[in-house]
Amino acid sequence: MLFNSITFFIFLIITFIVYWKSVSYSQRMSKLVLLVSSYIFYGWWDWRFLILILISSTTDFIIGNLLFKTKEQQKQKSLLILSIFINIGILALFKYFNFFIDSFKSLTGIITDENHWSTLNIILPVGISFYTFQTLSYTIDIYKRKIEPTKSALTFFTFVAFFPQLVAGPIERAKRLIPQFEKKPKFSFSQASSGLKLILWGLFKKMVIADQLSIIVDTVYTNPENFNGAGIILATLFFGFQIYCDFSGYSDIAIGTARLFGIELMINFRTPYFATSIRDFWHRWHISLSTWFRDYIYISLGGNQTNSIKWARNILITFVISGLWHGANITFIIWGFIHGLLFILERFISPFIKIPNKLKNVAGLIITFSIVNFSWLFFRAESWNQVKILFKHILNDKTINPNSFIQLIQNSGHLTEPGRMLLFVFPFFILVEYFIGNKTFDHILNNSPKLIRWSFYYLIILSILFFGVLNSAPQFIYFQF
């Protein structure tokens, strides 16, 4: 069930009405409504996916309570290892098994043409990477005595399966989300209104910006041999905005939807393309995942409480694992390695750059934006072979042909839908992002005059109707992770 579909719109209205009706009966009833609705939402893709989320939920609810009751450190470690083994084992089977088998076959193929390893014909359950990390953080935090386990299975299962953020985050922590499920819900008109506005902005970013840009990006990346270097570079730049608007749009809709039920989710993006360094970028991009890796991988490895060489090692390991989290492909690993390497170089180089802060910030913004968008080429490429083709065309401008990039968005002087969006809507989006800055979408709207606010709402709605991809509901990019 996609956020940008009529089916979800109907589902949301029904769930909203039933939920707030159930609140008047009991708090337990309202949580049960949320849980059942979440399972319906998740099972809409494939009911078999529910088996896996039930296994993860049951495992970590039981282990969490046993961890807290156990006083012996060795038993605590054994329970934590069991939780990690079950959760990561399921994730590895469905997401990485075929990748490692193919890699092994390629490696052994160098030595011999005969091997008896075969891959499995399995599909990747939607959202498995997200809820796996969410349940793991619960048991790890109990092990570290940062939180106490909830005694209510209903509360915990709702925490894991809460449908607004189930399939693509934000990856919430138990310390933040479980207490919200345990208190009695109270409807707030201002909170619900704020949620609807955020949903509208998220739909705009997804349906107007991301889905229109995907037409250009997919055309180029499907047949890169038909485009010159300039076309590939521009398509990669547009992919940077596509993935940002697609994923942050999802997060906005998720946060806005949760507010309709009186739940506050964490902010997942803070205008990352205005970052002035790689470090700053990762403080703004997919915040729930970057903080997860910081707290449970980077710090566990020793963080920065060590010498420079080991610190650099910790950074590289963390970023490479982050790349692998995104997908079972060597291109994702390279993408993560690039960001890790740049993160390290930035730390050692920046102290030697002696220029005024304003100029340094401008230069940092331009350099960071360029590097981040360059790295998206590895993220978007489907294979290492495609990466080689892309670089071959970028470095060789002799590949210019009639299917140039300009002709992709322009046809005899008549602009296509993506072209019209780029001319009329895209500058508006960039302007809004600039004004948001480090603030929140709500803050900008609430501090604007009424006329500007309502003009903004109508402009967004008209943009969706005139420029949005309405005929089909393209899947969100991060569903594949």
Share of the chain above pLDDT 70, in %: 89
For the residues 58-87, what does the mean pLDDT come to? 92
Q: How far apart are the C-alpha atoms of 283 and 290, rounded to whole Å?
A: 8
User: Which pLDDT value is given to residue 274?
Assistant: 93
Which has more confidence, 217 or 357?
Answer: 217
pLDDT band at residue 411 using 50, 70 and 90 as cut-offs: very low
Same domain, 158 and 307: no
Contact 160, 131 (CB under 8 A): yes
Over 80: is that where the pLDDT of 393 sits? yes
Over 60: is that where the pLDDT of 128 sits? yes
Domain boundary among 186, 217, 246: 186
Please write the tens of the pLDDT for every residue from 436-455. Answer: 877 888 778 877 788 888 88
pLDDT band at residue 474 using 50, 70 and 90 as cut-offs: confident
Same domain, 294 and 266: yes
Q: Which of 196, 180, 268, 275 is nearest to 442 (CA)?
A: 196
Domain boundary among 186, 215, 246: 186
Q: Report CA-CA distances (Å) from 233 to 72, 198, 240.
A: 57, 32, 11
Residue with tokens 């909170």: 191
What token pair was written down for 397?
């401008």
Q: Is residue 231 part of a domain?
A: yes
Same domain, 345 and 220: yes
- pTM check: above 0.75: yes
Tell me if residue 439 falls in helix, strand or coil. Answer: coil
Over 90: is that where the pLDDT of 97 sits? no
Question: Which residues, in sequence order, are bridge partners of residue 411?
Answer: 414
Same domain, 125 and 42: yes
Please write the tens of the pLDDT for every residue from 140-189. Answer: 999 999 999 999 999 999 999 999 999 887 999 999 999 999 998 999 99
Domain boundary among 147, 168, 186: 186
Q: Is residue 195 part of a domain?
A: yes
Over 70: is that where the pLDDT of 12 sits? yes
- Residue span of the structural domain in which 11 resides: 6-186
Annotation says 326 is catalytic:
yes
Mean of the per-residue pLDDT values of the chain: 86
For the residues 100-113, what does the mean pLDDT come to? 52
Q: Please give the tally of structural domains in the chain.
A: 2
Q: Is residue 1 part of a domain?
A: no
Same domain, 163 and 15: yes
* Catalytic residue, candidates 286, 326, 339, 393: 326
Tell me if residue 410 falls in helix, strand or coil. Answer: strand
Same domain, 111 and 231: no
Q: How far apart are the C-alpha atoms of 416 and 424, rounded to whole Å?
A: 12
Over 50: is that where the pLDDT of 413 sits? no
Same domain, 402 and 264: yes
